[in-house]
Structure 1
């Protein structure tokens, strides 16, 4: 079911969202100071391509620089992106077929608000993504 929802999402709106975030990421990476924001835009683009079956998790090594960057991000881009995702989710929820797509848009709101210090992991993953797995 996740694969089917991801394919529908990709065809109807995921590719356009991802392209927009990639363009924003390229523009941010052209300026040296905004490279962390460009990398965050690429992370959002990856998540917006295939959102079903994945979730956002906080990195254990994220500290004060991520928090400061997130405050700057929220002021200049985050709240606009969150409002756009919310408006799109409301428009998609009008139809029964659009309800899962609306839920995917709502999943993009947290990562569009605070993308720094976050990582995308599979749903149900309780492992810290930055610690190696002990193999016995």
Structure 2
């Protein structure tokens, strides 16, 4: 419990709040169109994860139908660059031993950024 709180506090100080703010604003812009509403909700879920990532797990559910089409659209339009950014920062954090937990959180965010519809964020058990 202590390390989750400490990790989240350090994460916010080091710029996690910027990730969360970007995802929240992106979600607002997605809500403008009818097609973007599912992405908007997914980006808000991602914003919550980006703000306090320690102590949370991400599960990618099996998606079918329209969600697959929307996820593929997301992947080609936005997801690949967002995930690539998280992978880049994750690798940078992995350079030092102290940064390894923060790099892991970036890789977790990259997974959700690639395939946002059908992912669930839950408390780590």
Common fold, TM-score beyond 0.5? yes
**Deviation (angstroms), 1:4:** 0.7
Aligned to 1:84: 85
**Deviation (angstroms), 1:59:** 4.8
CA distance in 2, matches of 1:57, 1:4: 24
Aligned to 1:98: 99
Aligned to 1:53: 55
Figure out how many residues of one structure are paired with residues of the other and give that number: 123
Deviations 1:36-90 (A, max 9, x none): 1111111111111111111112457x53121111111111111111100011111
Unaligned residue ranges in structure 2 (runs of 5+): none
Matched residue SS, 2:122: strand
Matched residue SS, 1:51: coil
Matched residue SS, 1:101: helix
RMSD: 1.5
Matched residue SS, 1:13: helix
Matched residue SS, 2:36: helix
CA distance in 2, matches of 1:120, 1:94: 27
Find the structure with the greater CA-based Rg.
Answer: 1
Aligned to 1:22: 24
CA distance in 2, matches of 1:123, 1:51: 10
**Deviation (angstroms), 1:112:** 0.5
CA distance in 1, matches of 2:41, 2:28: 9
Aligned to 1:31: 33
Matched residue SS, 2:31: helix
CA distance in 2, matches of 1:118, 1:83: 18
CA contact (8 A) 1:63 1:117 kept: no
CA distance in 1, matches of 2:98, 2:26: 30
